[in-house]
Structure 1
Amino acid sequence: MNIIEKSIVADMSLAAEGHLKIDWVKAHMPVLNRIREQFEKEQPFAGLKVAISLHLEAKTAYLAKVVKAGGAEVTITGSNPLSTQDDVCAALVEDGITVFAKYNPSPEEYKQHLIKALETKPDLIIDDGGDLVSILHSERKDLLTQVRGGAEETTTGILRLKAMEKDHQLQFPMIAVNDAFCKYLFDNRYGTGQSVWDGIDRTTNLVVAGKTVVVAGYGWCGKGVAMRAKGLGANVVVTEIDAIRAVEAYMDGFRVMSMEEAAKIADYIVTVTGNRDIIRKEHYAVMKDGAILSNAGHFDVEVNKVDLDAIAVSKRTVRRNIEEYQLADGRKFYLLAEGRLVNLAAGDGHPAEIMDMTFALQAMSLKYVNEQYKNIGKKVANVPYELDEQVARFKLQSLGMSIDSLSQAQRDYLDSWKEH
C-alpha cells in the first residue's frame, strides 16, 4: 500500500494550496532550514520511524519534512480537531509523509488517527499535550517496547509526563521542549501573545481598545496575551492562583483580582492556565452581557461548557467559530472556537519566525534523545543548554547579528573567588 492509499486526509485535490503554504513558512524559517541541511548530510534518523502529533498546519508540516530529510519514515497526525488544515495534509502526502488527520473529525475519528500513527510502530515520537504517550501507556502498551523516546511541545503535556514519571509509569525518556529558553521565552510569550489576538480579532472583527480584557493565568503564555492586549489599548486584568505571579502582574502594570470579581467587568476573557473549570457557573452568574470567552490552553476544559449549556435557553452560531449562548434573563455570552485553542482553531497559530526556533529545538531534541535514550533513562529530561544556545546563535546569525565573547582574562575572573 502506497502512502496515498494508507493516509487518511479530507481531499487530495487541495494539495497545491498546501504546498504554497509550506513554501511560505519555509522562506521564513532560516534556523530550521539550516538544521535541514545538517540532517540531509548526517542522516541521523536513517532507518527509523517517527510519529508526530502536533497542530497540523504549515509550520508543523515543514518540521515533518525536515525530520524526513534526516532519513526518517514520518507519520503525522493532528493534536487538536480544529487546528488541522486539510490542504497542508494533502501536500504532505504528496511529499511522501503518511498523514492521519482532517479538519473537525468526530472524537472517535480523532482518537483513531492517533492510534493509527502509533500502529506504524515508531522508534521516536514528537507529542503535543501528551496524547500519544498517554495512549501508549494505557490502551496500546503492546507498542511501548519499540519507542526509544521523544519530545513534548507543551506545558500541559509536560505536566502529564511529570505525573507519569512521579508514579513510575513513564517507560521511555521524553525531552521537555516547552521548558527550554528558546521555547517559553519566545514561543509562549511572543508567539501566543500575537496569535491569540490574531485569532480573536479575525473571528470577532471587534475593537479591543478601551475594553476590559481578563487574562486567566500569568505564566509565559499569559504574559504574552496580557502584553499584546495592553498594546491594543485594552484595560487588562489578570487572575492568578500563584501569589508571586500575581505580584509580578501587578508590577507589570495590570490589575489583579479573583475571577469572580473580574467576570463582572470583563468584555473579553482569555484562559491560559492548562487547568480545568477556570470559568464556571458562579462566574456565569455575575458575567456581563456580551462577554466574549476564549481559551488559549491546550485542552477545551478551561471554559466549562457543561455549565454554560445548562444555563442557556438558546444557542446558535452567529459567525464562524462564535457560539452565542442566551440566558433566561436576556444576557448573551459568546464562546470562540468551541473553547479550544483560539489561536489555532480560529487562526493560523504562531508566526513562522517564532516557530522556527521551537521546531528547531524539536528537531535537535529528537536527534539528541535518539543518541542518548539509553543514558537518559525513563524520565522527563530538559533540553541540554548547548542545544538551546545553538538555536539562539543560529537565530542571531540569520538576523545578521553578532554578540561578544569573553576573553580568557574575563573567564579567569569569573571562575576565581580570589580575584577582585
Structure 2
Amino acid sequence: MVATSVKLEYDIKDIGLAPLGKQRIEWAGREMPVLKQVRERFSQEKPLAGIRLVACCHVTTETAHLAIALKSAGADAVLIASNPLSTQDDVAASLVVDYGIPVFAFKGEDTATYSRHVQIALDHRPQIIIDDGCDVVATLIQERQDQIKDLIGTTEETTTGIVRLQAMYRDGVLTFPAMNVNDADTKHFFDNRYGTGQSTLDGIIRATNILLAGKTIVVAGYGWCGKGTAMRARGMGANVVVTEIDPVRAIEAAMDGFRVLPMAEAATVGDIFITVTGNKHVIRAEHFAVMKDGAIVCNSGHFDIEIDLKALKSVTDEVKVVRNFTEEYRLSSGKSIIVIGEGRLVNLAAAEGHPSAVMDMSFANQALAAEYLVTHQGKLEPGIHSIPKEVDQEIARLKLQAMGIAIDTLTPAQMEYMNSWTSGT
C-alpha cells in the first residue's frame, strides 16, 4: 500500500505495475471509439471544469478510459473500486502514474478497506457521484447528511443500484437527481446482455477450464443479464435451464427455447449454476443439499449475497483452494460444491469483465450523464431521471459509424405519415 505522511493520495497494490497497466489501457482503447470522441470534445469544452467527482466503479482497462475522459473534461476526480475483487492492479497503478488520477483500490481488499475507501471518496466532498451499485450514495445519505447540499447529482449504471435508488425515493431520502444510466438502451441492451453473457462464461472457463458443451447450466434470473448469459451458454453447447420469479420473463425464457424450472428442481439437475438476479439467497441450503457432487456455483449479479455462502459453510467440513479464484467446499455429507470467486462477480473476480467494445457505450452514457447533471444543475427535480433519448440515439449513431454500418433514414413522406393521424389505410 502507498501513502504519504500528510495525506493518503492513493491506495493501490503495486505502483511498479504501471507500465503493464498502460499497455493494457491503450489496447482497450482500440475498441472504444465512442468514448474517444466524447473525450476529445470534453478536452476542448471542459464541461466538468472544477467539479469534484467521485467514481465508484470496477477498476478495469475500460473504466480507465472513463476516468481519463472525466479528467479531460476538467473534473477533479477520485476513483475507488465498487467491488473488492474487481480491481485490475496494473490499471490502478497506471492511472496514478501515467494519468495523475487518485485511485483507492486493489484486488482482494477486505470489507473494512472497501468501506474506508468509500469514506475517503466522500472526504473529497463530491458534487457528482458516478456509482456502480449505489454504495457511495447510500453511505452519503446514511452517514454524511451534511454533504448532500454539495451534491449536484449521481449517475448509476447497475440494475442493483437502480433498485436501491428506487427504494431511497420511496422512503423520501433521495433528495437530489439521479441519472438512470442502466436503463439507457445503449447500456442494458448491450452491456447487460452481450457483455455479461460473454464475460460470465469467460470467468467460469478461466477459473475451471471445464468444457461447457453438454453440461446443464442453470441461469437464475432472466433479465437482460440472464438473457445474455443463457444465450451464450447455449451457444457453447450447454443445456440451459432458467429459473425465474417473474411470470412474464418465465414465459419469455420458455419461448426462447429454454427449460424453465423452480430452483428446487433445477438444483437436482444442474452442473453449473449462475445467479444474475440482484436479489439475496437465490441459492440456499435446501438447494445445496440436493445438488450433484462437484456442482459449480457462481454469481454474476452485483453483490455477493445471491449465493448463501454462510449456509453452505455451516454444512462444510473443509474449504480448499483448488485453482485460482476457485474453492472446493467439502460437505459433511461427503460430496463437494465448487464456488468461483467467493460468490462475487465471476466475470471480474476470475476474468477481466466486459469486453471494451460494449463498455464503450456504457461509459459514454456515464460521461454524458455527468455532463447532463452539470449543464442542468438546478433544473432537475429530486428523483430518478432517464438518459435523454437524443443522447442514447447519438451514442448508437457514433457506434454504428465506428463499426462502418450505415442505416436508412425516413423520407419526407414517411415522416409526414408517422406524424399524422389523418392518413389511414
| Structures share fold, TM-score greater than 0.5 | yes
Q: 2:142 aligns with which of 116, 138, 141?
A: 138
Q: Which residue of 2 aligns with 1:327?
A: 331
Does residue 110 of structure 1 match 2:109?
A: no
What's the CA shift for 1:2? 11
Determine what percentage of the aligned residue pairs are the same residue. Answer: 50
Matches within 5 A, 1:64-213: 64-94=67-97, 95-213=99-217
1:119-159 residue CA offsets vs partner (Å, 9 max, x unmatched): 11111110000001001001122221111012101000000
The aligned residue for residue 340 of structure 1 is 344
Deviation digits for residues 329-373 of structure 1, max 9, x if unmatched? 211100000000000111100000000010011111110111113
Match of 1:15? 18
| TM superposition outliers: structure 1 runs of 4+ over 3 Å | 1-5
Residue pair 1:173, 1:373 contacting (<8 A) in 2 also? no
Aligned pair partner of 1:43 in 33, 38, 46: 46
Q: Deviations over 1:160-214 (max 9, x none)?
A: 0010011110121110100010111000000000000000001100101001000
RMSD across aligned positions (CA) = 1.3
CA–CA distance in structure 1, aligned partners of residues 376 and 166 of structure 2: 19
- Structure 2 residue aligned with 1:59: 62
Match in the other structure for 2:307: 303
8 Å contact kept, 1:3–1:97:
no
Report the residue type matching 2:371 in the other structure.
K
- 1:268 aligned residue: 272
The equivalences for 1:209-358 within 5 A come to: 209-358=213-362
Match of 2:414 among 403, 410, 417: 410
Aligned residues: 420
Contact 1:174/1:380 (8 A) holds in 2: yes
Cα offset for 1:7?
Answer: 1.2
* TM-score when normalising by structure 2: 0.97
TM-score, length-normalised on structure 1?
0.98
1:69-115 CA distances to partner (integer Å, 9 max, x unpaired)?
01111100000000111111111112111111111112111110111
Give me the whole-angstrom Cα distance separating, in 1, the residues matched to 2:12 and 2:421.
63
Secondary structure of 2:64 counterpart: helix
- Unaligned runs of 5+ residues in structure 2 are none
CA contact (8 A) 1:326 1:333 kept: yes
SS of match in other structure, 1:8: coil
Q: Classify the secondary structure of the residue corresponding to 2:404.
A: coil
CA–CA distance in 1 between the matches of 2:136 and 2:232?
33
Amino acid at match of 1:267: D
The alpha-carbon deviation at position 400 of structure 1 amounts to 1.5
- Residues 408-417 or 342-351, more deviating: 408-417
Give the deviation of 1:5 after TM superposition: 5.7
Farther-moved stretch of structure 1 (273-282 vs 309-318): 309-318
Distance in 2, matches of 1:2 and 1:387, equals: 44
CA distance in 1, matches of 2:186, 2:256: 22
Report Cα offsets for 1:263-320 as digits up to 9, x if no partner: 0010000000000000001111111111000000000000000100001111111111
* Offset at residue 328 of structure 1 (A): 2.1
Deviation at 1:4, TM superposition (A): 9.7
Indicate the SS of the match to 1:394.
helix
- The equivalent of 2:404 in structure 1 is 400
The amino acid that maps onto 1:61 is A
